[in-house]
Structure 1
Amino acid sequence: MDSKGPPPYAQGGSSADMSRSLEDDSLVDGPLISADALHSAIRREFQTVPTSYHASFLSVLHVIYVVLSVCLGVLCVLKFGQEEVCKKILDSVQGGSVIVYGKVCLWALVLLFTACVRRHHSRAQSRGYLQFYRQMENVKHLPFIVHSTGNVVLLVVLAAEFQPPVHIYLLLTILGLEVLVAVPCLIYYAVKVMQFNRERPAPDVNQEDLSHSYNVTHSPTEIGFRGGSGLEEVVEKQADLIEYLKQHNTSLSKRLLNITAQH
Structure 2
Amino acid sequence: MVLEDMRDLLLTSDSPDQLFKPIRTLPIVIFLLASDVTVLITSFVLPQYYNSLDYQRHPSLYATLLYLQITLWVLTVIADQLITRKHQKSQLSGFLEFNRKIMPCMRAFLITVTSCSILLLITAAVAWDYCPRDKETCSQFVPLTPAHYVQIILSLQTCILLPVCLAYSVRIHQFNASHPLPDILEGQMVYSLSRSLPAFEDVGVRETTDDTLLEKQAEAIHFLKEHNARLSRKILSLTDQLGRYSDANV
Q: Do they fold alike, i.e. is TM over 0.5?
A: yes
| Structure 2 unaligned spans of 5+ | 1-5, 138-144, 196-209, 237-250
Output the aligned Cα RMSD: 3.6
1:43: Cα distance to partner? Answer: 3.2
Superposition map of 1:65-104 within 5 A: 65-76=39-50, 83-84=51-52, 86-87=53-54, 91-104=57-70
Corresponding residue of 1:80: none
Superposition map of 1:58-137 within 5 A: 58-76=32-50, 83-84=51-52, 86-87=53-54, 91-137=57-103
1:189: Cα distance to partner? Answer: 1.0
Give the distance between the partners of 1:207 and 1:238, measured in 2 at CA. 18
| Structure 1 unaligned spans of 5+ | 1-31, 77-82, 213-223, 225-234
Structure-1-length-normalised TM-score: 0.64
Counterpart AA for 1:194: H
Give the distance between the partners of 1:242 and 1:195, measured in 2 at CA. 27
Give the distance between the partners of 1:175 and 1:33, measured in 2 at CA. 50
Pick closer, same or farther for the CA change 1:170–1:129 going to 2, 3 Å.
Answer: same
1:248: Cα distance to partner? Answer: 2.8
Corresponding residue of 1:141: 107
Structure-2-length-normalised TM-score: 0.67
Post-superposition CA distance 1:80-112 (Å, at most 9, x none)? xxx22x449x95332222111111111000001
Work out which of the two has the higher radius of gyration on C-alpha atoms and give 1 or 2.
1
Question: SS at the partner of 2:15?
Answer: helix
The partner residue of 1:188 within 156, 164, 167 is: 167
Post-superposition CA distance 1:171-226 (Å, at most 9, x none)? 111111001101221121111111111111000011227xx9xxxxxxxxxxx9xx
Whether contact under 8 Å (1:110, 1:144) holds in the other structure is yes
Pick closer, same or farther for the CA change 1:157–1:74 going to 2, 3 Å.
Answer: farther
Corresponding residue of 1:155: 121
Post-superposition CA distance 1:2-54 (Å, at most 9, x none)? xxxxxxxxxxxxxxxxxxxxxxxxxxxxxx99689649812354221111121
Whether contact under 8 Å (1:146, 1:181) holds in the other structure is yes
The alignment status of 1:202 with 2:181, answered yes or no, reads yes
Counterpart AA for 1:127: S
The partner residue of 1:248 within 223, 233, 236 is: 223
Question: SS at the partner of 1:136?
Answer: helix
The ranges of structure 1 where at least 4 consecutive aligned residues each deviate by more than 3 angstroms after the TM superposition are 32-40, 235-241, 249-257
Give the total of aligned pairs.
199
Pick closer, same or farther for the CA change 1:249–1:117 going to 2, 3 Å.
Answer: same
Post-superposition CA distance 1:242-263 (Å, at most 9, x none)? 3322223444677869x99xxx
Post-superposition CA distance 1:228-249 (Å, at most 9, x none)? xxxxxxx987655433222234
Corresponding residue of 1:167: 146
